[in-house]
Amino acid sequence: MRIADIRHMLNRERYEALAVRDPLAISQAAERYSVLDTIISTFPDSEVMDLYRPLLSVSQAAKLLGYKPKEVRRLLGQGKISGKKVGSEWRIPLKAVL
């Protein structure tokens, strides 16, 4: 997926949340935008990103999904979210939370 497409998706989420005027939706969309923007900000818009390559921490994935880190760890353990353990920490591919 191109970086420009990811940015477009994030902006669309934010505008949809603003359109419905739901404070929870606005907060979640803003959180997703801020986390993902920090990840993709170093790439040019025309670059194609392998969505399995950027690995997120449990806390980043939790912010993107709107869960607490403990819930994300539980879902990882159950196999409902794909991820792998690196040492004692989980790493989650970006594709799993988009």
> What's the token pair of residue 77?
């353990």
Note the pLDDT of residue 95.
Answer: 92
Total of domains in the chain: 2
Residues 39 and 75 grouped into a single domain: no
Q: Which residues of the chain are modeled with pLDDT < 70?
A: none
Residues 1 and 30 grouped into a single domain: yes
Calpha distance 34→12 (Å, rounded): 14
Note the pLDDT of residue 58.
Answer: 95
Residues 66 and 94 grouped into a single domain: yes
Are 49 and 43 in contact, with CB atoms under 8 Å apart? yes
Residues 42 and 60 grouped into a single domain: no
Calpha distance 40→6 (Å, rounded): 9
Note the pLDDT of residue 42.
Answer: 87
* Structural domain harbouring 91: 51-98
Among 26, 49, 72, the domain boundary falls at 49
Calpha distance 39→41 (Å, rounded): 6
Q: What percent of the chain has pLDDT over 90?
A: 69
Q: Is 49 exposed, middle or buried (0-12, 13-18, 19+ CB in 10 A)?
A: middle
Note the pLDDT of residue 53.
Answer: 85
For 79-98, write each residue's pLDDT tens digit: 999 999 999 999 999 999 88
